[in-house]
Amino acid sequence: MPRGILPLLVAQFLTAFGDNAILFAAIGMVLQAEQIGDWYIPALQSSFLIAYVVSAPWVGPLADRLSKPLVLLIGNLVKAAGTGLILMGVEPILAYALVGLGAAIYSPAKYGILPELVDKAHLVKTNGWIEGSTIAAIIIGAVAGGYLADRTVTGAFLMVLGLYLVSILATLLIPRIAAKGGTLQHALPDFTHMIRSFLVTPRARFSMLGGSLFWGASAVLRVLLVAWAPVVLAITSAGEISELALFLAVGVIIGSLVAPRFVPLEHLRRARLAAYAMGLMVLLFSLVDTALFSMLEPVRAARLVLLLIGIAGGIFLVPINAALQDIGHHTIGSGRAVAIQNFFQNFAMLLTVGLYTLAAAVGVHPVTTVIALGVLILVATLLVALHLPDDETTTHSLDGH
């Protein structure tokens, strides 16, 4: 393992663990509180996403202007500060927005540091280690945060704070790397121009909007479970709700592993079929407590359908990400393509979670929201795929012909 990768892996695992544990710790806090409406959890998630979207034009140049290990350190310090504010009794929506800002600062440096630590021959393998550790942290962090919050909310937030602090210590072990000398001047107009120059082909637009559709739908589904589970499954525990989200995550992992077999990059059009399947599975999810699933207990039926939703989503997402990287490599650069991807996906999550917040605030039934989400996925997939060129279109084409 190249020098510096092990402490980076440890730092990334711990900070991703904390990022997911803190959400379910907050869910546990809300479930145990009185007189807090169903709108609060999606509003909390929205505060995290707002920081991501607003800071998007500047966090990329910041990661180049400063040494990337220093940027990772700053990101974790900001996350730790936000967690500390929650423990001090500051309004969680405001404090969680600060955690979101820390995550936004951390993200571009996390990926941008890899080519500076390893040579090209080891880059793919190192990316695999980073992604594998992140997925493990997402799964373990969500469940640990939920179950610990059922016992002690304060303890859950203290665990998250400790994770961020230990991640900071691990970051200090990463070798010093010289700054690339980026500038924050004209960051906003440069970012706008970069978006326009990237989204010039139908394939790029399909990939970008398709990825945004996936993350927007998954963000709503994750917070929707908090209101849906007590009504349909009579589940009120943050730990049990995090278990439901776990099946969704495992499904995405399975879908990601089999995606290359079903949707190779030269057949990108096939990805839309997985998106349609995801929409249909979401509609099926609204029926888990009906006679259609009479052979299964509602909880088991919910876990099964969430697993299927995740599998379809993983098959949809992987080729789209690969197409974005490939198109970015031949146009504006893969790193800048990832920056645009982060902006669009977080904006989509902010928009969909915001709409769900409004629906919850006016008392829309959770099952009705599930049905609306399934229909939205189907309609949006149809619209996004309308102008997708035939598979024979070369992956490297920049003019859409």
Residues 243 and 352 both lie in one domain: yes
244 to each of 43, 236, 307, 309, 312, how far by Cα in Å? Answer: 21, 12, 9, 12, 17
Residues 168 and 280 both lie in one domain: no
Closest-CA residue to 23 (of 305, 194, 225, 191): 225
Report pLDDT for 128. Answer: 64
Full DSSP string of 226-291: HHHHHHHT----HHHHHHHHHHHHHHHHHHHHHHHHHS-GGGGGGHHHHHHHHHHHHHHHTTTTSG
Residues 253 and 389 both lie in one domain: yes
Q: How many domains does the chain have?
A: 2
Six-digit token pair at 298? 């509602």
Angle 170-176-182 from CA coordinates, rounded to 5°: 115
Residues 120 and 240 both lie in one domain: no
Report pLDDT for 146. Answer: 84
User: Which domain, by its residues, includes 129?
Assistant: 1-185
Closest-CA residue to 12 (of 146, 106, 143): 106
Residues 6+ apart with CB under 8 A from 71: 62, 63, 105, 106, 108, 109
Report pLDDT for 329. Answer: 62
Residues 142 and 269 both lie in one domain: no
Residues 6+ apart with CB under 8 A from 46: 350, 353, 354, 357
Residues 283 and 134 both lie in one domain: no
Residues 104 and 114 both lie in one domain: yes
Q: Is the dihedral of CA 85, 87, 93, 99 positive or negative?
A: positive
Six-digit token pair at 378? 């189907």
The residue out of 164, 185, 206 marking a domain boundary is: 185
| Region for residue 397 given its phi and psi (left: phi exceeds 0; alpha: psi -120 to 50; beta: otherwise) | beta
Residues 170 and 257 both lie in one domain: no
Report pLDDT for 394. Answer: 40
Residues 156 and 16 both lie in one domain: yes
- What CATH number did the domain enclosing 371 receive? 1.20.1250.20
Residues 295 and 344 both lie in one domain: yes
The residue out of 168, 185, 202 marking a domain boundary is: 185
The residue out of 124, 150, 185 marking a domain boundary is: 185
Distance CA 380, CA 253 (A): 23
- 401 residues of the chain, pLDDT tens digit each: 667 788 989 999 999 999 889 988 888 887 777 667 678 888 888 888 888 888 888 887 887 788 888 999 999 999 999 999 999 989 888 999 999 999 988 887 876 777 777 776 666 567 667 766 777 788 788 888 888 988 899 999 999 999 999 999 999 998 887 776 666 777 788 888 888 877 777 778 888 888 888 888 988 888 888 889 888 888 878 788 888 888 888 888 888 778 878 887 677 788 889 999 999 999 999 998 888 887 888 889 999 999 999 999 888 887 887 777 677 767 765 556 667 877 888 899 889 988 888 888 888 899 999 999 999 999 988 888 776 666 544 444 433 43
Residues 215 and 287 both lie in one domain: yes
Dihedral pair phi/psi, residue 390, rounded to 5°: -60, 160
Residues 132 and 201 both lie in one domain: no
